[in-house]
Amino acid sequence: MKTLTKEIQASITPAMALDLLKEGNKRFINNLKVNRNLLQQANETSDGQHPFAVILSCIDSRTSVELVFDQGLGDVFSIRIAGNIINEDILGSMEFGCKIAGAKIIVVLGHTRCGAIKGACDCMEMGNLTALLNKIQPAVYGEKTVLENRNSSNDEFVEKVAVINIKRTVDAIMERSPILKEMIKTGAIGIIGANHDIATGKVSFYEDTLLLASKSFAGDYKNPPLPLKAVDRRPTASRV
């Protein structure tokens, strides 16, 4: 597997970037991986990096995005925080990754059995964690279908809150970052929410969160922006 260069990065469209992640996850769940010389990649990226994706995920030790998507050194920007929430610093990091460093896709990646989601469901309060979990509370309140046992003991409730939290984060990125919103509208980047099943390794991409402008090739931003691509609004398992 070649180390990403500026030229290779420029040739990758947002749609291609998403496919690269889906293909990588397919390898992961089939216990396969691309043969990489990581030391060589370390040497080749020492003077610069050209990742194709920015992935916001949880700090959970079971959700390393480089492993889950079978990527190497210099391939993805990995932003990790409990509950895959956003704040000003994370938005700034995303803007750097896309506007300055040239990444082509943003993925908000949640996961099953998330401790931060469970803590928010239980209205847990503890030190600085309280403020973080408060950012997940809107997703808890937004879940209206489960009427009983609305706490971490109810797996169905927890997983439904997790999905809402992922989708709210995608929306919040668009609302709070004019830079990223404009890049998405012009087709420079795409954005999507996804969920990692920690038991199977499979990543399900939520197509109803996908914002991806149709472009013929990367860098073709001289033409007027095309309408955002219409998508099938069903969560689908990762596949090629």
164 lies in some domain = yes
pTM: 0.87
**List of residues 6+ apart from 151 with CB closer than 8 A:** 121, 122, 157
Quick check: 222 pLDDT over 60? no
Tokens of 124: 């847990």
User: In 30-87, which residue ranges form alpha helices assigned H by DSSP?
Assistant: 38-44, 65-68
Count structural domains, the chain: 1
Per-residue pLDDT of 55-67, as tens digits, reads: 999 999 999 999 9
* pLDDT given at position 150: 97
User: In 135-228, which residue ranges form alpha helices assigned H by DSSP?
Assistant: 137-142, 155-176, 178-186
State the DSSP code for 99: I
CA distance 51 to 98: 9
Report helix, strand and coil shares of the chain as percent, to nearest 5.
40, 15, 45
Given a contact cutoff of 8 angstroms between Cβ atoms, the answer to whether 52 and 103 are in contact is: yes
* pLDDT given at position 214: 57
Share of the chain above pLDDT 70, in %: 88
Quick check: 216 pLDDT over 50? no
Quick check: 177 pLDDT over 90? yes
CA 230 to chain centre: 20
Per-residue pLDDT of 183-201, as tens digits, reads: 999 999 999 999 999 999 9
165 lies in some domain = yes
User: Could you tell me the CATH number of the domain that includes residue 130?
Assistant: 3.40.1050.10
* pLDDT given at position 225: 34
- Amino acid sitting at position 169: T
Per-residue pLDDT of 121-168, as tens digits, reads: 999 999 999 999 999 999 999 999 999 999 999 999 999 999 999 999
Domain limits for position 82: 6-237
1 lies in some domain = no
Averaged pLDDT score across all residues of the chain:
89
Q: How many CB atoms lie within 10 A of CB 55?
A: 26
Q: For 65, what's the count of Cα atoms within 13 Å in the CB-facing half-sphere? A: 27
